[in-house]
Amino acid sequence: MSHVITEKCLGEQYAACVDVCPVDCIHPGDHKGETFMIIDPDVCIDCGVCLPECPIGAIVGSVDESPTYANINKDLTPQFKQNPKVTPRPPNEPPRKPGNKLVK
C-alpha cells in the first residue's frame, strides 16, 4: 500500500520528501494550476521515510486515509514522472496557504 500526498501540498511543494525517498517515487507537477507533488503508487515501498519530512503534514500513510487523493496521485503519475526534480524549499519557510500550518 502506497503513501499519498494530499491537497495540503497543492500550491506548497516543500519537496523535502524527494530528497529522502530511497526509490525515487515522488514527482512534481502542476495540478489545478498550482504546484503539487505526487507519490507513484507502483514504486512506493511504504517505508515511511517521507512522512516526517513534510513540514505541513501533507503526506498520509495509506490510501485509506485519503482515497480521493490516492486516485489523484495515481492518475497524475504518468504525467508527473516526466518532470524534472524540484529544489526543496526550506522546511521552516511559512506555508503559502493560510489554511496550512507547520507541524514540526
Tens of pLDDT along 19-47?
A: 999 999 999 999 999 999 999 999 999 99
Nearest to 58 by CA among 19, 95, 20, 21: 95
Q: How many helices (H) and strands (E) does the chain have?
A: 2, 4
Residue 104 has pLDDT above 70, yes or no: no
Confidence of residue 1 (pLDDT cuts 50, 70, 90): confident
The answer to pTM > 0.75 is: yes
Domains, the chain, in order of start with CATH, read: 4-80 (3.30.70.20)
How far from the centroid of its chain's Cα atoms is residue 9's Cα? 6
Residue 69 has pLDDT above 80, yes or no: yes
